[in-house]
Structure 1
């Protein structure tokens, strides 16, 4: 990819478009009352997804951009679990009936810091408060450094069906530079423990653009990962925004690869994974042909939500825990980000919603266009607008950057159908940004 194109379109400030509108557009005017109202009006004939955020780690990785704190003690985790259960009770009571759950995701932080007995108890509590479908998916993010055989057994007994392992890089120099030192043996042991307990669907998270990374070290990491044959891999580009995350200030900025080097790393990893039989999924995922994401993509029903790419077709995602984001029928909601504020709200008997966004009809149209671009690298704008009762002309005309993207041969546009050229997958975010009605005002 040409350096001028990369410099023009690789803007770290561009959203990842897991949701639209994005969190900076959320307002405190949409709070607890809206959450209560939206929960009470959830349809009884549709299943929902649940997300539970665990904001604790044993140590903080310097690249991390998620809300989490480090703790060596068990007490903060146990106290948090008690509050989490109370929030689950409050939400369940607001719903008009026992909600049907088809998908559960534990994220963080490090969800496997929850002890085996406590995790089993939490899953039992969820199953008492909600009606799980027989085929419900339960996924857990795992730090291999703190994962035990006992925890693997508990996950299996709790009905967990998928696990995501944070690998990032096998290069020891890179690991030291980002404060995440772990051995290949630890990854292999975690994978073996999961498979021994019936959890056979496993994801690996890899990263490029980290300090001291090279094309060679990225390919070496990808090759080692492929040898373990996970079902899918997420390959994220590190976004260095130290003004936003203080822990990123500990990273040596001069050791970070430049934009061209990052693109070369991303391309080399993609080439390695595709050669090993994985299919490219959207912006940054790769999956074996029989994985849920690959099947969903082939069928045209791949989704994008606050957790990333998903085969989950639920319209409703309820977020539990500090900072958790959910989507109900009328819009998006986010809990208090700070664990202390979240705890105080729940202990006072209130939901912890701190802000949100009520979707307009135009938001829904633009969001649908953005989701298809992020999932399929293609969006039939007239068809999407027709499905929402919208005139496509104003939507297309307002996307002023589309003409520039077309002239730079990033996209092809034919009869309102926008297609991103495959060779520009690395800068995909620049295309949905053209349909983001809020972005220009935010970036200035």
Structure 2
């Protein structure tokens, strides 16, 4: 828990370094106490539950590296490394399947990197393995992150033939100067062509990722990008603040920090993006997503079913997320487990017949309860603390210290507390991660994070 807030200053709060909370406890608090054998036992317990799972497939390769990128990836200009990677990935899937059995799968999400640069035949082989090991639910969602520069008409048809029914395109910005600054040049006509190729192939559920806080970015360029993308009418938008973490991602040192918008500018850019997307007919989802009202994510938000995991906001109700591929993270009811980030270490473990886990975090104490509180704050901007505590077997837990630390925000009218019901009433996007951090029992024990907005 943080020290109590001083007299509230929105600018100061948005500059706080807090996690994005796509997990709790967060990755800096993982340790080597979770091993492949630990994770294997967790997977066997999942198999006994007979509940559907989700799969995340990590492909840590791109054709070139963008300087803003915070992902675990590397450049591959030849296909040979990709073919070798896919072969090892199939062996890992076999090891996981041996522990899970013939479970149901409700979601597959391919991330990276740029998954669709896998050579012809490799993705088909991976999916054939998955179809043999597992069974897909009737409402199965098959999503993939794509770089618009590598989406072709032929490639889109191949993805559709493999059952991909949702695509997430990394747009980020359409400002030529900003694109040059982040080493991701993709003119509007390239983006438009990727949308057309996907839609003509029958993949109509398209997400578009946009960013603010990038080098040289201005409110004018934010508006131009948003207006152009609104004309393309994706099903969903994500609007992320650029996380400048050069101590974690060395290639970000190539960005001139003097060209980055300051805290006030980031706040204005985020608000402008939000206003434009809402005016364009999109429903606000959590702190950084937007969806057309008939999209499943919008329905989940309205009905209180919204979830948050490593892919951000989702309507995926599976409790277990199994990650495969170097550096991927899995979540089970028992805790988190992360594969070796080093590809050579990942491959060596698999070749030895072992699950390639090098770190993780078993849930202990009130971890699961605090995780649920943080998730509801990020999804709903509100949480009934006593009700959630009772649901987790912690009857009588009031989180009195955490509530007391929020007193200045309550006095400012930004947060309300009524009988243990906590609600963020104003500045939701600026305050959600900051308020959630008050329930983070690990914060301050190591790890650096990006600013709140």
Bin for the TM-score computed over the shorter chain = over 0.9
Distance 1:399 1:245, change over 3 A: farther
2:248 and 2:403 mapped to 1: Cα distance? 28
1:392 and 1:205 mapped to 2: Cα distance? 42
Match of 2:381 among 365, 377, 382: 377
Match of 1:259 among 255, 260, 263: 263
Q: Is the 8 A contact 2:237 2:290 kept in 1?
A: yes
Match of 1:79 among 84, 102, 105: 84
State the TM-score, normalized to the length of structure 2: 0.94
Equivalent residues in 2 for 1:23-422, closer than 5 Å: 23-42=27-46, 43-95=48-100, 97-398=101-402, 400-422=404-426
State the 1:424 CA deviation: 3.6
State the 1:361 CA deviation: 4.3
State the 1:379 CA deviation: 0.8
CA RMSD of aligned residues (A): 1.6
Q: Is the 8 A contact 2:50 2:103 kept in 1?
A: no
State the 1:4 CA deviation: 7.2
Aligned length: 441
Q: Is the 8 A contact 1:99 1:131 kept in 2?
A: yes
More deviation, 389-398/147-156: 389-398
State the 1:10 CA deviation: 2.1
State the TM-score, normalized to the length of structure 1: 0.96
1:76 and 1:131 mapped to 2: Cα distance? 30
2:426 and 2:231 mapped to 1: Cα distance? 26
Q: Is the 8 A contact 2:383 2:421 kept in 1?
A: yes
Corresponding residue number in structure 2 for 1:18: 22
Identify unmatched segments of 5+ residues in structure 1.
Answer: none
1:429 and 1:392 mapped to 2: Cα distance? 25
Q: Deviations over 1:102-121 (max 9, x none)?
A: 10000001111113432222
1:121 and 1:87 mapped to 2: Cα distance? 13
Identify unmatched segments of 5+ residues in structure 2.
Answer: 1-6, 449-453
State the 1:421 CA deviation: 2.2
Distance 1:262 1:248, change over 3 A: same
1:422 and 1:216 mapped to 2: Cα distance? 26
2:430 and 2:127 mapped to 1: Cα distance? 38
Higher relative contact order (CA 8 A, sep 6+): 2
Secondary structure in structure 2 of the residue aligned to 1:266: helix
Q: Is the 8 A contact 2:15 2:263 kept in 1?
A: no
